[in-house]
Amino acid sequence: MRDPENIRMAEKLDIQWIGFIFWEKSSRYVSVPPAYLPTKQKRVGVFVDADIKDVMEKVREYALNIIQLHGKESPAYIQKLRHLCGEHIAVIKALNIATEEDLEQTFPYNGKIDYFLFDTKAQKVGGNGTQFDWSVLSTYKGNTPFILSGGIGPDDAEKVKAFHHPMLAGIDLNSRFEIAPGLKDIEKLKHFIYEQNQ
């Protein structure tokens, strides 16, 4: 997110994290800090194969609580990042999933991150608005919690409610809840969250 008023309105909702995308090729790229940053939710910085020095800069500038990695970041890269950030910063590693075999990507990262984010395998990075077959996650037996991502929209409330997995930590709501890139449709979010809580 990047619009101050939009952030203020989202902050009033029953959500835990608000994200800021620091990848220049994204239509949601945040080039300068918004005039208002959330104080009630944790701040997530999203990066794609960024230089560690640049990540650290954003962590300080935006007072990030969580780093989300969407590129080909290696376990060694993550280890170095964690060493510099300290244990108080959580790390999410996004992985693109289409089949059960894709879950094998999790193995090298086990014990090195706090969460996986399982996204839809696609040509472009994130925000594709398409879903993968969530049933493949039934074979995920890892000890690292995961966030479900990839094209979850306002009409998926029942489907999300019906999805159960012992390691599910949350869901990522992005492109299908937008009026424009980086600008959330607060009413759609509000309604979806209400449906989840029923």
| Range 149-154, long-range pairs (CB < 8 A, 24+ positions) | 149/94, 149/117, 149/118, 149/119, 149/120, 149/174, 150/97, 150/118, 150/119, 150/120, 151/120, 151/175, 151/176, 152/176, 153/129, 153/177, 154/188, 154/191, 154/192
- For residue range 3-53, list pLDDT tens digits in order: 999 999 999 999 999 999 999 999 999 999 999 999 999 999 999 999 999
Quick one: pLDDT at residue 198?
A: 85
Q: How confident is the model at residue 121 (pLDDT cuts 50, 70, 90)?
A: confident
pLDDT higher than threshold 90 for residue 125: no
pLDDT higher than threshold 60 for residue 65: yes
In contact, 128 and 151? CB cutoff 8 Å:
yes
User: Which structure tokens are listed for 127?
Assistant: 């925000």
Distance CA 107, CA 120 (A): 18
Quick one: pLDDT at residue 11?
A: 97
Strands 42-47 and 66-69: parallel
Quick one: pLDDT at residue 190?
A: 97
| Range 61-65, long-range pairs (CB < 8 A, 24+ positions) | 61/33, 62/20, 62/33, 62/37, 63/37, 64/20, 64/89, 65/17, 65/89, 65/90
Sign of CA dihedral 42, 43, 47, 51: negative
Quick one: pLDDT at residue 133?
A: 94
| pTM across the whole model | 0.94
Judge residue 160's burial from the number of C-beta atoms within 10 Å of its C-beta, 0-12 exposed, 13-18 middle, 19 or more buried. Answer: middle
Quick one: pLDDT at residue 130?
A: 78
